[in-house]
Amino acid sequence: MPLSTSSSNAAAARPGGPGGPGGLTRGTWLLFALTALLLTGVELVSNYGFNHISAIQRRTVRDIGEARRLRSAPPGQPATALFAGNSLMLHGIDVERLQSGVSAEMRPTFLPVESTYYHDFYYGLENLLRHGMRPQYVILCLGPTFMVSTQIRGEYSAHYLFDAQGIVEYVRETHTHPTEASSLLFAHFSAFYGGRKEMRSYLLTRLIPGFFEMIKRLTYRHGIVPNDAELSRDFEVRLRALRDLCARYGARFIYVIMPSRQAGEDATLEAGIRTGVPVLLPVRNFSLPKDYYIDEFHLNEKGAAVFSDALAGCLSRLVRSGHASPTACDGRNAAAVGGTDTSRIP
């Protein structure tokens, strides 16, 4: 009997015995290895696979890379200029027309990122500038409600636009809830977590063509625009912040009001005068007929041609004048100041 008990205890205590610590450790390490392999595979697919199959994602990553490589032009050459904006810029600017119209003064590079707002671009630009981007001009093209919004594009911006320092600064500035803050930080280091919503959207679009266009039409509402006093105050703060950010790295900041059928342009122009930031209104909002728009927000090809010609003229005059006036292009008085006279548009 004692021999049987001793033998049983010895087997239980043996490191490699059934149920012993050795067996548990091997199983745990195997689980860790499989999990690490799975996560690595998911990250590789997210980093390379999604970029390969999605044209929008591929374009965004390419444009961010081109912006990162921007440097000042040599003396005597047209200045380098980064045009950043959301889908309003993507649809509202005819790239070839604008490049042709400002070829003597600027060499534009474009960075359109859909569904983005002021904070996306402030911290995105800060990241690019902090890591070596050096354009001579930074030109932000947004509508008024996007400029004063407190939203960001969540985890996507945290991964593709912000750096870790920018996320910390954003969290402090906006008093972001700790749960959301940890989500942003995790997304910054994980391509899958940062882009999972876009992957889901891509799959839904492939499975149900036109799904998101239908949702947009059903749920569309104009943004709520604060009164002029609140708008002007918010714009002053944000225009100064962007002006000072760009100035720290030797760039001049210009803000372009994109046609978006939104109010707020008067307060924006007044904020430009008070801050000394060039605020350009090439075409007054609501002045273009509805058949110049794809939907309630975005210009179509015909609208983009009109706007791009007007913007090119505004920028050329602004550069040639030595930035003498912060309102070098005011579409409210097109004939006098040089914006597009929309009364002549058929």
Alpha-carbon distance of 326 to 295, in angstroms, equals: 31
For the cut 70, the answer to whether the pLDDT of residue 13 exceeds it is no
Grade residue 343 by pLDDT with cuts at 50, 70 and 90: very low
Nearest-10 Cα torsion for 259, 262, 263, 266: -20
In sequence order, which residues have a C-beta less than 8 Å from that of residue 273 and are 6 or more positions away? 279, 326, 327
pLDDT cut 90: percent of the chain above it: 59
Q: What domain count does the chain have?
A: 1
For residue 121 the two structure tokens come to 């671009």
Question: Closest Cα to residue 329, out of 343, 344, 342, 310?
Answer: 310
Look at the block and give the residue holding tokens 């402090």.
172
Does 130 map to a domain? yes
Q: If you ran DSSP here, which 8-state letter would residue 343 be given?
A: G
Alpha-carbon distance of 5 to 106, in angstroms, equals: 89
Does 106 map to a domain? yes
Q: How many CB atoms lie within 10 A of CB 307?
A: 28
Does 11 map to a domain? no
Does 38 map to a domain? no
Q: Are 153 and 115 in contact (CB under 8 A)?
A: yes
Residue 103, domain CATH = 3.40.50.1110
Cα–Cα distance list, 99 to 3, 32, 109 (Å) = 93, 53, 9
Confidence (pLDDT) at 198 = 78
Does 85 map to a domain? yes
For the cut 50, the answer to whether the pLDDT of residue 318 exceeds it is yes
Alpha-carbon distance of 142 to 258, in angstroms, equals: 5
Confidence (pLDDT) at 338 = 37
Confidence (pLDDT) at 135 = 98
Which residue did the predictor score with more confidence, 8 or 61? 61
Does 12 map to a domain? no
Question: Closest Cα to residue 329, out of 305, 344, 313, 345?
Answer: 313
Q: What is the pLDDT of residues 200-220, one digit of tens each?
A: 776 777 777 766 566 555 555
Question: Average model confidence (pLDDT) for the chain?
Answer: 83
Confidence (pLDDT) at 216 = 57
Which residue did the predictor score with more confidence, 229 or 294? 294
Alpha-carbon distance of 165 to 152, in angstroms, equals: 16
Which residue did the predictor score with more confidence, 14 or 173? 173
Cα–Cα distance list, 268 to 246, 263, 264, 344 (Å) = 19, 10, 6, 25
Of 28-37, 54-63, 114-123, 321-330, the range with the highest mean pLDDT is: 114-123
Q: What is the pLDDT of residues 126-144, one digit of tens each?
A: 999 999 999 999 999 999 9
Grade residue 334 by pLDDT with cuts at 50, 70 and 90: very low
Nearest-10 Cα torsion for 202, 261, 276, 324: 110
Confidence (pLDDT) at 344 = 46
- Rounded to the nearest angstrom, the gap between the alpha carbon of residue 150 and the centroid of all alpha carbons in its chain is 13
Q: What is the pLDDT of residues 165-210, one digit of tens each?
A: 999 999 999 999 999 999 999 999 988 888 777 777 767 777 777 6
Which residue did the predictor score with more confidence, 12 or 191? 191
Does 44 map to a domain? no
Confidence (pLDDT) at 296 = 82
What is the span of the domain harbouring residue 121?
Answer: 54-344
Q: What is the pTM of this model?
A: 0.82
Q: What is the pLDDT of residues 35-83, one digit of tens each?
A: 767 666 656 666 666 777 888 889 999 999 999 999 999 999 999 999 9
Confidence (pLDDT) at 197 = 79
Confidence (pLDDT) at 182 = 95
Does 127 map to a domain? yes
Mean per-residue pLDDT, 223-228: 62
For residue 241 the two structure tokens come to 């912040």
Confidence (pLDDT) at 337 = 34
